[in-house]
Structure 1
Amino acid sequence: MILDLLFPNRCIHCNRIIGPDFLVCDLCFSQIHFTHYDYFESNPIKEKCSLLFPVENTFALIKFEEESLSRKIIHELKYRGREITGKILAEWTTTHLDFKNQYPDLMASVPLHPKKLKERGYNQLHLFTESLSKFYKIPFDHQLIKRNHYSKAQALKDKQHRLETANPFSVTQPITGKHILLIDDVFTTGNTVSSIAWEILNAGNNKVSILVMAVDV
């Protein structure tokens, strides 16, 4: 209580004092650009993924635009240690994502390499995934996918280097006949989710759908 008085939680955009469980104030919330994608309909993610691998359904919560509040929110989660942002994004997702009772069998998030996980202290996707799992009652497995190589942040790589990276991920256990919802933070080229999707598809008679916090296409 004393700490809340001395160091109150503030809106990450305008610096107004807000409740401890909020990220932005009501005024700034209206500046967030939600995609309003339908999970089952065509959208820019599905169009791009379809060129890379057989994809079932796709969804993104917000648009990852330059100099936008949406970009600031993702950076709070990934680079400023605010893991609780993942839970808040999950709460927003539940108001926009309708599975229409056609739920995937399992949620799996894009993993960090153990070295990167140690550096950051947490995987920015775990609390997001766990919160969605609890709401939709879909099981999750943080260990299903393994990242095989330690590398620089995806944003720091040029496109050619990303394409040249071979077998960056692997499936850690037998899995077949399942519909996997693969979760990532930002969708850009689609190369990361494509690499993982092919590992899942090649593991057995599986299906893959994609859910991301933000889309930059």
Structure 2
Amino acid sequence: MFLVDLLFPNRCLECNRIIHHNEVVCELCFDQINFTHHHFSESNLLTEKCRLLFPIENAFALMQFEEESTSQKIIHQLKYGGREKIGKIISNWTLEKIDLRKSKIDLLVTIPLHPTKQKERGYNQLHLFADTLSKGLKIPCDHSLIKRNFYKKAQAQKRREQRTFNENLFSITKNISNQHILLIDDVFTTGNTMSAVAWQILKEGNNKVSVLVMAID
């Protein structure tokens, strides 16, 4: 055991028990996580929500994102607590619960942060998550296909009358066609951000879109 583990032991985000440095919650609290049990190839709540906004092939959310829930605490630590390695943990949970081998996904694509935002945070919370998925699924991943054009705007644009703004929120950085893209994000809330990215991809060529998120609100 490293000295840092003795001086600053890793603790469960839920109950504060000392746990292995590669874990985020203890076994007892892991059992309390509200996993969705979605099947990627079957219709589910996320699929239905996405279909109200854009054409979609399949969708999967790993967890329910509820106020004061364990899943909320985990994702908040990933995004705001400087714990980028949690992305790998969530990715391994995802790989254990879904099988994408028959889905014919061509490319994994992450929702980008604005460069200024990413510099402030120090990392994009989706990159390690997606890279771990990419390695496990043997499907390439592209973090640069989508560019965010505005800073600190996405979460402010929630009303339908602001759709025009959302259509310009992202842009494609390279030509893509005849690709089945799996869009990856952390939490699906209103779906406005995901929809803005999906439409950019769909209008580029004969592309198809599926969605995978860590949690659905």
Q: What's the TM-score bracket when you normalise by the shorter of the two chains?
A: over 0.9
Count of paired positions: 214
**Alignment partner, residue 189 of structure 2:** 188
**Alignment partner, residue 120 of structure 1:** 121
When the two chains are superposed, the root-mean-square deviation of aligned CA atoms in Å is: 1.3
| One-letter amino acid of the counterpart of residue 20, structure 2 | G
Query: How much does 1:198 deviate?
Result: 0.5
**Alignment partner, residue 216 of structure 2:** 215
**Alignment partner, residue 84 of structure 1:** 85
TM alignment of 1:129-168, pairs within 5 A: 129-152=130-153, 154=155, 157=156, 159-160=158-159, 163=163, 165-166=165-166, 167-168=168-169
Q: Normalising by the residue count of structure 1, what TM-score does the alignment of the two structures yield?
A: 0.95
Q: Which runs of 5+ in 1 are unaligned?
A: none
Deviations 1:58-113 (A, max 9, x none): 00000001111111111010111100010000000011111242230000000000
Q: Normalising by the residue count of structure 2, what TM-score does the alignment of the two structures yield?
A: 0.95
| One-letter amino acid of the counterpart of residue 50, structure 2 | C
Q: Which range is displaced more, 104-113 or 44-53?
A: 44-53
Paired with 2:191 and 2:157, the residues of 1 have a C-alpha distance of 14
Paired with 1:77 and 1:153, the residues of 2 have a C-alpha distance of 19
| One-letter amino acid of the counterpart of residue 122, structure 2 | G
Paired with 1:152 and 1:192, the residues of 2 have a C-alpha distance of 10
Runs of 4+ more than 3 Å apart:
161-164
Paired with 2:99 and 2:174, the residues of 1 have a C-alpha distance of 29
Query: How much does 1:48 deviate?
Result: 1.3
Paired with 1:110 and 1:148, the residues of 2 have a C-alpha distance of 12
Q: Which runs of 5+ in 2 are unaligned?
A: none
Identity of aligned residues (%): 61
Query: How much does 1:52 deviate?
Result: 1.0
Paired with 1:146 and 1:152, the residues of 2 have a C-alpha distance of 14
**Alignment partner, residue 25 of structure 2:** 24
Paired with 1:17 and 1:48, the residues of 2 have a C-alpha distance of 39
Q: Which range is displaced more, 73-82 or 163-172?
A: 163-172
TM alignment of 1:164-175, pairs within 5 A: 165-166=165-166, 167-175=168-176
